[in-house]
Structure 1
Amino acid sequence: MRAVVQRVSGASVVVDGETVGEIRGRGLCVLVGVTHDDTKEKAERLARKLWTVRLFDGDGDGGEEGGGEGGAAGPGSEKSCSDLGAPLMVISQFTLYGDARKGRRPTWNAAAPGELAEPLVDEVVAQLRSLGARVETGRFGADMKVSLTNDGPFTVLLEV
């Protein structure tokens, strides 16, 4: 299971002209990809990591405290969503397992089919909520328009 995690100062997702998810203020926008050997246990681990990973500065407003660029702690690495009560927007994205190493077109062979991926993305969301997180979501399999303001920019890749 793979997640691209972006610290944001706001994000929204629109499907067919309707806003289906939105976070205002600081939080995380999380794009989640699922591969064939992913399990419920991996979804639970990813949720715990997302809830507790320290990607915010001490004030929670995204600044450069916490070590600065290239510092030991890294920029903005003092507080987590759980520390701040910051919301998360979780969006499924099978293209995270695209492979374009050969040829000019990516293949999606490593991406799990929808019948495997959807319940695992739902499990990440359910586990986050059980931990106390406020979670917004997109709509699985839909053509989504995701807008965000990346704070920093600050983006990390998580794999479990």
Structure 2
Amino acid sequence: MRIVIQRVTQASVVIENKVKGEIGLGLLLLAGFCGDDTEEDLKWMAGKVAQLRIFGDAEGKMNLSVQDVQGDLLVISQFTLYASTKKGNRPSYINAAPPTLAVPLYERFVTLLEATLGKKVQTGEFGADMKVSLLNDGPVTIVIDTKNKE
């Protein structure tokens, strides 16, 4: 599992001219899944996201988590995070999990985040053509891959 985390002051996702998910202060997560992702990977990532200290404290140091600032999450599925550009100019997505595997992983990840944070998590729609808007705060953008957790 691979995610791109962006600290935001606002973010939204629009599908067919309708807002599907919208948050204020919080984190926008772009989440990609591969075929060998496990429940352990999902749990580890949910815990990491909830506890990652990337919000400013009273002294302006990144020392607070999304939980600490009572921020929200917007999670967007993004298979292109597993793009391979080694050969040619057209990316290959062979390492991305197919929808039959990725959809349950995505849904379970959202459920784990909701349980960890104790609140609803906003989402996009798996496989839809989505328009994502955000105001990146900082900017702070971090990539985390479960294959690099040890």
The question of a shared fold, defined as TM-score above 0.5 by the shorter chain, is answered with: yes
2:60 is equivalent to residue 65 of structure 1: yes
Q: Which residue of 1 aligns with 2:97?
A: 112
Q: Which amino acid aligns with 2:137?
A: D
Would you identify which runs of 4 or more consecutive aligned residues in structure 1 move more than 2 Å? none
2:53 is equivalent to residue 54 of structure 1: yes
1:84, 1:102 → 2: CA distance? 43
Deviations 1:89-141 (CA, angstroms, capped at 9, x unpaired): 00000000001121111000100001111111111110111121441000011
Deviation of 1:65 (Å): 2.2
Deviations 1:30-74 (CA, angstroms, capped at 9, x unpaired): 000001110122111111111111110115xxxx822xxxxxxxx
Where does 1:74-113 land on structure 2 (aligned, <5 Å)? 77-113=62-98
2:125 is equivalent to residue 139 of structure 1: yes
SS at match of 2:54: strand
1:133, 1:102 → 2: CA distance? 43
> RMSD in angstroms over aligned alpha carbons?
1.2
**Kept after mapping to 2: 8 A contact 1:88/1:133:** no
Tell me the TM-score normalised to structure 1 length. 0.87
Cα 1:80–1:133 shift into 2, 3 Å = farther
In the alignment, structure 1 segments of 5+ residues that lack a partner are 67-76
Tell me the TM-score normalised to structure 2 length. 0.93
2:138, 2:45 → 1: CA distance? 23
Quick one: percent identity of the two aligned structures?
Answer: 47
1:58, 1:140 → 2: CA distance? 35
